Structure 1
C-alpha cells in the first residue's frame, strides 16, 4: 500500500531541523520502500505492507532515536488522499472569490487530524469567527479556505486550539503528494 507521512513542526522557524535526505534514509532504514520526500516541511511518500498503527509505531520510535526529539506524524494511504481530493467541499466559486482577494498567496489548505472532527465543534468555532474564511469537515481532515494569508487568519489560529493534533498542507502540496503516490 502507498502511504504519505506528514510531519508536524519540523523545519519551522529554525527549530527541529531535519534534512529531507536524512528523513528519507531513516524511512529506508526502517524497511520501507520506494521512499521519496517532498519539500522541506516533512512530507514522505513510501510503500509498505504494514498497517497504519504499526507504521506509526516504527516511525515514531525510529524518528526519536535517529533525530533525538519527538514529532507528531499524520499518516494517510493513497485511497484516503484520493477521496479527500475527490470530496473537496469548497466550490469553484468560493475558491475564485478567495483568489480574487489576494492572488499572491495560497488560499486552500487541508488540516490533517489525528482524530475525527466533530461537526458540532466546527460549527461552534465558525460561530465565534467573523469573516470570509471557510472551514469544512472531511473524514479525518478539515478543509480551510482563507481570503488573505493563512498566517493572519483568526479562524486558522483556532484550528489547533479546538481540534487537537494537526498538520496543514496547502492544496498544491496535497495534490502533488497524491501524484507522487500514484507514481510509486
Structure 2
C-alpha cells in the first residue's frame, strides 16, 4: 500500500458527471483505504494496493464499466506532487493563474519542439519531466495561449490543477 494523489482528467465538466461519493466507493472497492476527495473535479487521495500505475488503470476500467466513458487517471506520490510544485519555473503573482499539468508520461523532445511553435502571448508554459507548468497572464478564463493545442502537440494526456489545489492536495495527503 502507498499513498497516492490520483487526478482524473475532465470529470464534472462537459456533461461527464462523477459524484465524489461514488468515486470514493469505487476506489474502496478496488482495495484502496483512507480514501478522500477534494472538490468535485476528480481529486482523490488514497492508500492504494500494489503499483500506482496498476491502480490507475484499474480505476479507469472501473469508471468506464460503470459509466460508459473513459477518463485518464494520473497519479503521483505526495513527494512527487511536492517536487512538481517546488519546480514551478514561473513567478507566481496569483496562485489561481498558475497551474501544474500532470502528464501521463514524459513528452518527446520533438513533441515539445512542435508545441513551442504555438503563439502564447504573455502566457507561459514549460515541461519539466512529466509535468507541464503554466502561468496565465490574465487567468485560465482569459488565456492568450491555447493550452489544448499545446497539449495535443505534446501527444501526452494530462490533467491540470492550479497551485492552490496542488498545495491543498499535498496538505491533505499528509
Q: TM-score range by the shorter chain?
A: 0.7 to 0.9
If you compute each CA radius of gyration, which structure gives the higher value, 1 or 2? 1
Question: Which protein is richer in helix relative to its size?
Answer: 1
Given the superposition, is the C-alpha separation of residues 157 and 66 from structure 1 closer, same or farther in structure 2, using an over 3 Å criterion? closer
Q: Which residue of 2 aligns with 1:29?
A: 29
- Looking at structure 1, the residues matched to 160 and 20 of structure 2 have their Cα atoms a distance apart, in angstroms, of 18
Q: Which residue of 2 aligns with 1:95?
A: 92
Q: Which residue of 2 aligns with 1:102?
A: none
- The CA RMSD measured in Å over matched residues stands at 1.9
2:153 to 162, 167, 172: 162
- Aligned-residue offset at 1:48: 2.1
Taking structure 2 as the reference length, the TM-score comes to 0.88
8 Å CA contact 1:26–1:66 kept in 2: the answer is no
8 Å CA contact 1:133–1:155 kept in 2: the answer is no
* Structure 1 counterpart SS, 2:132: strand
Given the superposition, is the C-alpha separation of residues 45 and 6 from structure 1 closer, same or farther in structure 2, using an over 3 Å criterion? same
* Unaligned residue ranges in structure 1 (runs of 5+): 100-104
2:140 to 146, 150, 154: 150
Taking structure 1 as the reference length, the TM-score comes to 0.83
- Looking at structure 2, the residues matched to 167 and 132 of structure 1 have their Cα atoms a distance apart, in angstroms, of 22
